[in-house]
Amino acid sequence: MTSRDMWTAVEALSRFAAELESGGADVDDGFAPVPAEPHLAPALPGRTPGSALAEQVQAASQAVPGPRSIILDCGISRRPGFTHVLCISPAAESILGSDGFARLGEIVGRVYGVMSYEWEGIDRLHLVAGDLPWADLLAEAREALAVFMAGRV
């Protein structure tokens, strides 16, 4: 930028500042600020402010935890002699109750193709399930748990 360009820019800014001070400059670019008072804001047709959030909270509070919230995933077991591992939610006992959680290994152990199971902590259930694909084992384990949960309701 040359000194002449700088001088031109300074002059333009000076003129604009003078117009602002005198109230003659138009700085409105179509932006309409939100009113500070919510009751002055224009209402949306057919809507009540905050109603969608209230409906979501109500739906979430009525949702019943299912097998997907208990048996989270399936993967390769790194424990010798086991082929698969199911990742179990740490909240499984609170969802199923102590008796239901104690039977979780037995429930999954009854899935066709599962020959044995063993717990590692409370969140990993190692299985011997041969060549059963992970997605199939996960779906079958969740289905078996769903049947168990449906019988308890």
pLDDT tens readout for residues 9-24:
778 777 777 777 776 6
Q: What is the pLDDT of residues 77-123, one digit of tens each?
A: 999 999 999 999 999 999 899 999 999 999 999 999 999 999 999 99
Token pair belonging to 111: 């899935």
- Whether residue 16 is contained in a domain is answered as no
On whether residue 76 sits in a domain, the answer given is yes
Name the average pLDDT for the chain: 80
Q: Give a yes or no: residue 57 inside a domain.
A: no
* Domain-embedded: residue 97: yes
Q: What is the pTM of this model?
A: 0.58
pLDDT band at 153 (very low <50, low <70, confident <90, very high): very low
Q: What is the pLDDT of residue 139?
A: 94
User: pLDDT over 70 for what percent of the chain?
Assistant: 69
The count of structural domains within the chain is 1
Residue 93 is part of a domain; what is its CATH number? 3.30.1370
**Main-chain phi, psi angles of 69, to 5 degrees:** -85, -5
Domain assignment present for 18: no
Residue 22, in any domain of the structure: no
Structural domain including 95 reads: 67-152
* 81 is a domain residue: yes
Within a domain: 145: yes
